[in-house]
Amino acid sequence: MLKLTKKADYGLMALKYLAEHPEAPAQSAKDIADAYGIPAQLLAKILQRLTKTGLLRSHAGMNGGYALSRDARQISAFEVIHAIDGPLFITSCTKGAKGCDLTPSCTIKEPLARVNETISGVLKSISIYDLAEHEAHAAADATGPPAQALVTLTLTL
Amino acid sequence: MLKLTKKADYGLMALKYLAEHPEAPAQSAKDIADAYGIPAQLLAKILQRLTKTGLLRSHAGMNGGYALSRDARQISAFEVIHAIDGPLFITSCTKGAKGCDLTPSCTIKEPLARVNETISGVLKSISIYDLAEHEAHAAADATGPPAQALVTLTLTL
DNA sequence: TGAATCCCGGACAGTTTTGGTCGTATACTA
DNA sequence: TAGTATACGACCAAAACTGTCCGGGATTCA
């Protein structure tokens, strides 16, 4: 449990692919799908969704395709997952408005909501750039501190 | 997405209930189910599973029921969720052994595995005791430092 | 102009996961 | 031995997930 859907996985993989090919003006859904061996039509729809939410820009016609709308560093895994799978709530009794119907049972909800925020925080702190492989290892070593993401989260119950 | 199942929710709620009634030798599945308005038979099966994994102890017959097998402080939310929903993996390509079939595609897997560990860490750091409502507020204030769980996690990509 | 390439998006079928019920067997207590 | 409670497998309906099909539009190039 607590796993993300294949769609979200595919979406992350696709963005990673785009981040690793910044030179090309655009990559077609089919190219990306072929690169990873995932169903093209399915990926296409995922990319469409990411386009609608503004994470990608699309271009129809020959040599068209998709491209990141921002720098890979500025796109978090959270955004991608949220765009594809919708709002993530660890508690099954979602809906801040109505809450779970009967019973003020979910006193659990409160502490778990914090867990939820923590998880969101982790996901928000990870960018597509972090997922991509940065070729210039040697260069990175020379240029200074490694470009590692270091995340520290605090959870107080 | 990324939400836990109702079963896991129910399980946590039940353990919380047990933690809040330490005086009783045991609580029947029906009592707990009624307290929260959740289907009794379903909860029964969940409690049975928790019993098999050793988190609970059961006792049949009159005045029987379930009780925590350890102190509420010694039972983590992670254990409960794991017992009910099985191993939690954020990546859809689970199985460390075979990995996702074709394509060494899931280079994503590696960074996400760390996210997964982080989430597990959060869940492990939360005990059933933390979920329960502690009546003795005044007492707690007097006895010393507030019994708050403070969790700090570090994620390095 | 027209053909090729590529995005857009709804409808839909197959499968798996969940959530929940039923029935029966078993254990314990009074 | 009657009543209460767990143990557990079979079963089912509904939802979610994955994936496919298909008829559009947009854009580029010859």
Q: How far is the CA of A62 from the C1' of C4 (A)?
A: 8
- pLDDT tens per residue, range B97-108: 344 444 444 566
Q: Report DSSP letters for B3-15, one per residue.
A: PPPHHHHHHHHHH
- List C-alpha distances in Å: A32 to B6, B89, B153: 36, 25, 35
Between B88, B111, B152, which is nearest A154 by CB?
B152
Mean pLDDT (chain B) is 79
| Alpha-carbon gap, residue B59 to B26, rounded angstroms | 8
Terminal C-alpha separation, chain B? 23
Which residues from B are below 8 Å from A12, CB to CB? Answer: 108, 112
Which residues from B are below 8 Å from A131, CB to CB? Answer: 107-108, 111
Percentage of chain A modeled with pLDDT above 90: 50
In total, the C-beta contacts within 8 angstroms joining chain A to chain B are 162
| Alpha-carbon gap, residue A84 to A82, rounded angstroms | 5
Residue type, A32: I
Contacts of residue A91, defined as CB under 8 A and 6 or more positions apart, other chains included, come to: A106, A108, A109, A112, A113, A116, B3, B4, B9
Contact A126 B157 (CB under 8 A): yes
Q: Is the pTM of this model over 0.85?
A: no
- pLDDT tens per residue, range A67-89: 999 999 999 999 999 999 887 76
Maximum distance among all Cα pairs of chain A, rounded to whole angstroms: 61
> What pLDDT does residue B35 have?
92
Q: What is the mean pLDDT of residues A107-114?
A: 71
The angle, 0 to 180 degrees and rounded to 10, between the axes of the packed helices A29-36 and A40-52 is 130
Q: How far is the CA of B155 from the C1' of C14 (A)?
A: 40
Residue A113, pLDDT above cutoff 50: yes
Q: What is the mean pLDDT of residues B125-129?
A: 92
- pLDDT band of residue A116 (cuts 50, 70, 90) is confident
Residue A44, pLDDT above cutoff 90: yes
Nucleotides of D under 7 A from a protein CB: 3-9, 17-22, 25-29
Q: Which residues pair with B150 in a beta bridge?
A: A156
Between A3, A106, A122, which is nearest B155 by CB?
A122
Instruction: Please give the protein residue whose CA is closest to the C1' of the nucleotide D7.
Output: B48
- pLDDT band of residue B92 (cuts 50, 70, 90) is low
> What pLDDT does residue B90 have?
59
Residue A138, pLDDT above cutoff 80: no
- pLDDT band of residue B137 (cuts 50, 70, 90) is very low
Nucleotides of C under 7 A from a protein CB: 4-10, 18-23, 26-30
Terminal C-alpha separation, chain A? 23
